[in-house]
Amino acid sequence: MRLSGLKRTEIILCPPFTALFDISEILKGKPLGLGAQNMYYAPEGAFTGEISGKMLRSVGCQYVILGHSERRHIFGETDEMIQRKVSAALQYGLKPIICIGETLTQRQEDKTLDIVEEQLKAALASVTVEQIKDCIIAYEPVWAIGTGINATPQQAAEVHALIRQLLGQLYSPPIAAEITIQYGGSVKPENASALIQEPNIDGFLVGGASLKAEDFTQIALTVEKIKQIEEK
């Protein structure tokens, strides 16, 4: 496997629920993380079709994606619901990958920074100074996902800088500097290098490209190469 030698780049796989157990078995002894694509905030109860944090832990998950744009806009998840999910994930020892981002209409109305601030503060409303260290933030410009319209590295960097600044205000600048902020707007092998070189972009939340082994591998190797150069 070409990714087995990565030293500076962490990879987290987030397959569908039905594949979690099998993937967990395959990943035993390998330096890859396992996460789920969603979870419900209640630990147990009559919630047919939902998956709890306890269930995710039982199949070996260490991470969970919360607040993904599709969950927000297709399934109607609110900021309050996402906040409850973040709190529950941390309670069960899962590291939440918290997604935030604006729609095309919101960007056109120059509301990007307001929306990002609102979603971030809501998601982290009950997250303590100690807990934030286990959180990953993912910026998803909804208008750049599957639309053929890509955010420029500069547009992405502007929002990532705001997120870092907000984290510094909510916690402290030193803590904010240590938090991973991912970019998740149609990342491809063609734009990965330019994006990862921007300040405050620490990694990627890869969508469609993760379904193509060669594309995903190329993105990971690109990140590793840039991080290696930056160390020198």
DSSP string, 92-148: TT-EEEEEE---HHHHHTT-HHHHHHHHHHHHTTT--TTGGGG-EEEE--GGGSSSS
Orientation angle between helical segments 112-123 and 79-91, nearest 10 degrees: 40
Q: Which of these is catalytic: 25, 44, 50, 68?
A: 68
What is the CB neighbour count within 10 angstroms for residue 7? Answer: 9
Q: What is the pLDDT of residues 184-213, one digit of tens each?
A: 988 999 999 999 999 999 999 999 899 999
Distance CA 187, CA 104 (A): 17
Q: What is the pLDDT of residues 172-184, one digit of tens each?
A: 999 999 999 999 9
Taking alpha carbons only, the member of 211, 214, 192 closest to residue 203 is 192
Domains of the chain: 12-231 (3.20.20.70)
Q: Which of these is catalytic: 77, 102, 140, 160?
A: 140
What is the CB neighbour count within 10 angstroms for residue 222? Answer: 22
Is residue 214 annotated as part of the catalytic site, yes or no? no
The β-bridge partners of 100 are: 139
User: For residue 148, what pLDDT is reported?
Assistant: 66
In this predicted model, which residue has the larger pLDDT, 91 or 232? 91
Q: Are 126 and 87 in contact (CB under 8 A)?
A: yes
Whether the pLDDT of residue 1 is over 60: the answer is: no
Classify the C-alpha dihedral 178-131-205-125 as positive or negative.
Answer: negative
Beta strands in 145-202 (DSSP E): 181-183
Would you give the distance in Å from CA 227 to the centre of its chain? 19
User: For residue 145, what pLDDT is reported?
Assistant: 79
The β-bridge partners of 34 are: 13
Instruction: Tell me the pLDDT of the chain averaged across its residues.
Output: 94
Across residues 52-74, what is the average pLDDT?
A: 96
Residues in contact with 62: Cβ distance below 8 Å, sequence separation at least 6, in sequence order: 12, 33, 34, 35, 94, 95
* pLDDT above 90 as % of the chain: 87
